[in-house]
Every structure is written in C-alpha cells, then in structure tokens.
Structure 1
C-alpha cells in the first residue's frame, strides 16, 4: 500500500515537466491525482513539446494511483474554479494542492534571443504579465477555490512550486519578483491557515531536467533532478503527520530527500544528460 492511499491531490500545469513529475510522485504512493493543463489529446499543441493531461493521468494510474485529467487554462479564473469544483464534487475532499502552472517561459521556444538579453529593459513586457497571470495569480485563485474544502476537513497541504530566484538579484526582474511574490503568498497563507490545520509551503526544486531545460542545451545537468524527484518530495510532505512544522516556509527538494530518505528514480548520467 502507498503512503497516500485514499488521499486526493490536484496538480496544476501537469501535462509535462515538473507538474507531470509531481503527479507521478503522488501516484506512485497511491493517491488519486487530478491533473490540469492546456495540452489535450487531439488538441492544438500549446508548446513544441510532447505531453498531454490525458497522458499524465494514464501514467499516474499505471504507477498505482488514479489519474484524472482536466483540461484547464489557469489564466481563466472560471475554468480554475470549475476544475476545483468538479474534483470536490467527484471525491468529496482535497488533501493536496500543488500550484505548479506558470507562464513566461515562452522564450524557450518562441525564437526570442533569451540568452542575449541584458537588462530588464530588453525583455518583452508581456513576459512579466505571463508570469503574474499564469503564475502568481493562478496560484492564488486556485488556492482560493481549494481552501474552503481543506478548512472544512481540518487538514490539507498547499504547495507552491517556487525557486531560489526569489532571493537572487541576478535572476531577472520579472522572474525574481514573481517568485518572491509566490513565497510571500505562502507565508501569508500559512499564517491564516495554521489554525485550521492546513499547511502551505514554497517548494524550491534544484535544476530540473524538464523538456525546456533539455532543449536549451546550456545547463550543466550533473547535479540536476528529475521531475519525478520533485514529486517524491511533495509525496513525502503529504504523508508527514507533522507537516505543519513547515507551514509558511520554504522547503528544498534536495533537503527533503535527505530528511525523508527518498531518492531520484532517474538520476543524471552526466553534465549534458544526453542519450
């Protein structure tokens, strides 16, 4: 039996990348995992990368959990609220919410000379809008929709996938500010949810071998993490009866691995992690 048998989770932005890895990490522990994203089977591709919410849900089920796909564009508040309402109507509970969906990464595939940009004044302004609408706002709106169920249960875990860019001056203005806002959101949510037995944390992965990172081809991946390693970090938190000790704070995937004793199912093979 998995440590999360009977638990229900929602992972946003789970067609691929970190979100998919988190869904799989929860699924291998027996959770029912609802996965959202814009990429759907038979639909118009949203990026150059493969992956759909249906495929992620199928892999969750194959690992021993139960995967359920919901096509959702989290830039649309109504779609977000409807996705959460459907899940609660079907299961009657919500134990884990992972806010992973994010915007502003279009430069990895839209032809922008990202690596030549020097200074925030050279960056398209709409990248700021993408990070705050499809990232920070989406995290907030999904949490607003999910919190009443968790509060009524007297338990739950909200995880905002964030980054140590929140504390770095050289992370890029849009990215750094958006991630700092994500962390402050967690600190304030943690304060308000504590009395209800609901935890909120910011999770810092290391360098993760997502499709975008691999395509960029400029990173040293020798100390990187697989997406499913991040999933195991979330699963460990969700199974911890003392998870409230982390509420309102930042936690790091590598440190959680040391504390809880889980390992990366797909460790890096070398600096490029090539085939």
Structure 2
C-alpha cells in the first residue's frame, strides 16, 4: 500500500478524537505536514467535555514520525476559519489534503425521539455542526486546495450513501439529515472542483471504536474491547479508528483517486481497493455486515465479514 505523502500539506478539521484523529496520525505517518484543528485544547474544553485535545493528536503524529501543528478553531465561526486559512496561506501557500471531520453532535442525537419531542436546540445544533460548519470550512479553505491540481477533499460522515438512502430508524431527524448531507456535499464539491482537477469524496468508517464508543457506551478499552461482546455481540464487527485512517492515507497517496470523485466511500471498501488491514490484521466490512447480519436479526457471526 502506497502512503507516501512527503511534501503534502494536510488539514484535518475536527481532528481532536475518533476517526479524524486517526486520519491525522496516518497522514502524518505518510509524511504530510498536518494542521489539526478543533475546539478542545489542554487549556479549554468544548461542550463535549471530553479529555482528548488537538495537542494530543499532534503528539500522536509526532510519535508516528510526522509533523503536525495544533490550531484551535471553532469551524462554526467564519472569522476563525478565515484566520486559519490566512495562517496556512502564509506558512504553506496551499492545502493538498483537506479532511473535514467536524462533528461533536452525538450528545444531541436523542436516539429514537421524533422531531416534535426532540429539543429543537439539539436538532438545530446537529444541523449546524454537520452542515453549516462544513460549508464555512469549504468556503474559506477550498481556495487553498485549488491552488494546485490534484487536491483532495474528504467529508467525514456516518453511513454509506446506500445505507442512508432511507431514514436511520433509532436515530433522530437532526442526526440523520446532518450525516446524510455529506453525500450531497461530496457531489457538489466534486462538481465545483472538477475544472481545478481536484477530487472530493465523503468517507465513513464502520462501527468505529472511538474513545466515546469504548469508554462511555461499552465500558471497555481498545485493549479489552472484545469484553463488550457480552453486552453487544454485533460489536464483533467493530473497527479501530486506524482502519479508516489508513484508508484515507492510501486514497490521498493514490494518483488515480479522481475516479472516486463525488462518491461516498467506506473503510471496508477502501481496504479492498488498497489492500490494507486493521490493527489486528483483519478487514472488517462493517456496513455489509450491518445490512446482511445485524439488521435481519441474525446471530452475531463475522465469518466472511472481517
């Protein structure tokens, strides 16, 4: 698998934790100079109140042998994003890889609550985080992406285009609309970037073992995550954040990635294309498993799916 990104300039917006943190690390491991943005620093936490910080992500990039810089940015604040663009323009003159992983809305999800019962401020907050922040980021940073042909834009989401073609029962209207919007963001960006010979895609991990999924929802760590199978047997299909991180790094290093422009890609799909594995040597195909095993109510069995 080719992940040589030497000399590339990358921005990972919302790179504080989860998939975006892992992507930032893998881009740095590949040789890219990575700017990591987010709201939580060692001095100040976001509304989520979690301990992961943008500086912590940069530490992991450095441990992987890469180069990274942490910049506190609230991507819902246009002036802050404009300031980020001006700084990168001054320091680098361009962006080669833009990964927009801004989210932070899980605490607002209200799983299974209809919109008329769900707090309006929570519904609108998810829309703001999942759509407005991504458009603000695109407005200010895409001018740096189009400076050179070959730029890559990745909008992170939850769910494949096929899976999100119908309402996600058990979630909520605000969450569903915010996440499904990424498919259209990728289509629109791909069209607008085409003449500049740049690529835009949406990317989704499978059932990701993010920090919050492990400690808050499952009560385990990455080291003993299989203990959670007693509580949720289908968690056997879960994947580490590194899996999707490797996928985005491979995509960024692929000179023929424009063949995917406008599409929504998933970590299992990228693993088949580029031949990488998760940290345990497996290749979880999470979305196919969810459709073919979990949703029909079949017993948990990952045979043929990882």
Do the structures match in fold with TM over 0.5?
yes
Counterpart CA distance in 2 for 1:107 and 1:131 is 7
Find the counterpart in structure 1 of residue 285 from structure 2: none
Alpha-carbon contact 2:13-2:102 (below 8 Å) kept: yes
Q: Does 1:141 find its partner at 2:136?
A: yes
Deviation at 1:100, TM superposition (A): 0.4
Q: Trace 1:178-217 onto structure 2 (pairs within 5 A).
A: 178-214=178-214, 215-217=216-218
What is the match of residue 30 of structure 1? 31
Q: Deviations over 1:198-241 (max 9, x none)?
A: 10001121011112222112754211111121111110110000
Residue 30 of structure 1: CA displacement?
1.3
Task: Give the corresponding residue for 1:223.
Answer: 237
Q: Which residue of 2 aligns with 1:9?
A: 10
Contact 1:33 1:68 in 2 (8 A): yes
Ranges in structure 2 where 5+ consecutive residues have no aligned partner: 219-230, 283-299, 301-306
Whether contact under 8 Å (2:127, 2:175) holds in the other structure is no
CA-CA distance at 1:18 after TM superposition:
1.6
1:241 matched to 2:255:
yes
Q: Secondary structure at 1:200's aligned position in 2?
A: strand
2:18 & 2:240 partners in 1: Cα distance? Answer: 9
Which residue, 262, 265, 269 being the options, matches 1:255?
269
The match for 1:132 is 127
* Structure 1 unaligned spans of 5+: 109-113
Look up the SS of the partner of 1:69 in the other structure.
strand
Partners of 1:64 and 1:84 in 2: CA distance: 25
Separation (CA, whole Å) in 2 of partners of 1:125 and 1:45? 20
1:58-86 CA deviation, whole Å, 9 max, x = no partner?
11122021010001111211111211221
Q: Is the 8 A contact 2:108 2:123 kept in 1?
A: no
TM-score w.r.t. the length of structure 2 is 0.80
2:67 paired residue number: 66
What corresponds to 2:103 in structure 1?
Answer: 102
> C-alpha separation between the residues in 1 aligned to 2:272 and 2:38?
31
Q: Secondary structure at the match of 2:235?
A: coil
Q: 1 CA distance for matches of 2:128 and 2:114?
A: 22
Q: Secondary structure at the match of 2:42?
A: coil
Paired positions, count: 263
Once the two structures are TM-superposed, the CA of residue 47 in structure 1 deviates from its matched residue by 2.8
- Please give the root-mean-square deviation of Cα atoms over the aligned residues, in Å: 2.1
Residue 150 of structure 1: how far off its partner (Å): 2.1
Provide the rounded CA distance (Å) in 2 between the counterparts of 1:62 and 1:102: 25
Contact 1:35 1:69 in 2 (8 A): yes
